[in-house]
Structure 1
């Protein structure tokens, strides 16, 4: 029975008016819920269902495992000084930044966005808090290449916390390329299609900010989903994910990593990271 049949059956204009009012109120309430930070909008319906559980490396641990359990099991002998840092998302909530700073964290990356609608509801506390504590900080975007184009996601990222400034304390944005938390590992894309998507994101980010984004990935995912492409090594710094005592084999083209996410728990809240160099080099990379 249609709404028209219902109104005729009742034969009452006030009933129709109440139905119209109720429908309008319901639509307004639904739009407010979908627009709230930390949720997915209608265009993500049935796809992005748990963005607060999608953080930098959340799928790496699931698919590749770990042979670390925090600082105590990891012995690293790098060729240059490593600067300790961390990365967080809404999963950590309000972070004690002064505490992390006092324990030695010198830089931080904060999740800003995912897809084309999600924003981290704790972003301001985390992004501004890390800066105020003295850290060099930046933000990252969790990519969903099957949801929309690379340029569209880069635009959304820049508009919602992913920008960059040459103040020496703001790192260029990072693009999180990892296993699909909602389906097929490579988001239904061929290797060439994935490379094109990443190029679209990277070029648009550069056009908007003047910097190319750091690319976060694991060697295994990169090999599987881009065909181990070397197309980005000349312009994009590498942030490698490997929860072990060494970075292992890097994707083709990169002779070294700029960042290394080496554990998903430890001294600092969130994931544990190392910058491949001294603190003055972190600041130099931030400044561009």
Structure 2
């Protein structure tokens, strides 16, 4: 049977059917907010705020390396939802990376850094990424993202060994960066930093003293920070390499709780 219609302007297969590249308009859907009135790009959006967040991460420099610690809680708003969120990571034999803030953004950037290390190993020239290089790279990435109004809602601590000397620096979500002997992000910037600086000002720390100081700060934060957790990670970087210890657990003592009064 010969085709009798207009081959250049064929009729629709059914009334109000889908046209190529468009959403189907359901019968009776005359709302201007229906899918037929929008493209796929109209529905693409970025989250305007962090969703699953982590709190303080602490870094301390001692005479031979650095210690980094962070608890393992991922909070869904005010809900202590995820109890196993490691955020102290070995980058290579010279670098430890700690994170506080949005956990998804940390995972995204962590994947990129890991791929950089793989690419570096594939070159096989014997060179390794150094902590100052990673610290500088993070400032560029985070500043670039916030300039596009799509920031990575995370703060980072970079600890490592640079030419035989310990290095400790931090970068926030705006790309603001600095180096110091002690670093704390989140609420720890207010509650742990005074403890860290007081200990550092008394003289050079050795590795065991630095670890004891960090443990004390994690205990203080557990009592004072509603988003902290009693289970935390502790990592150490020295000239011998990077070590991330098994998660430690705080032994809380609430015997004074009955003395607390609401004012």
TM-score when scaled to structure 2? 0.26
Considering Cα pairs closer than 8 Å and 6+ residues apart, tell me whether 1 or 2 has the greater RCO.
2
More strand by share: 2
Q: Which has the higher helix share?
A: 1
When the two structures are superposed, what TM-score results if normalisation uses the length of structure 1? 0.25
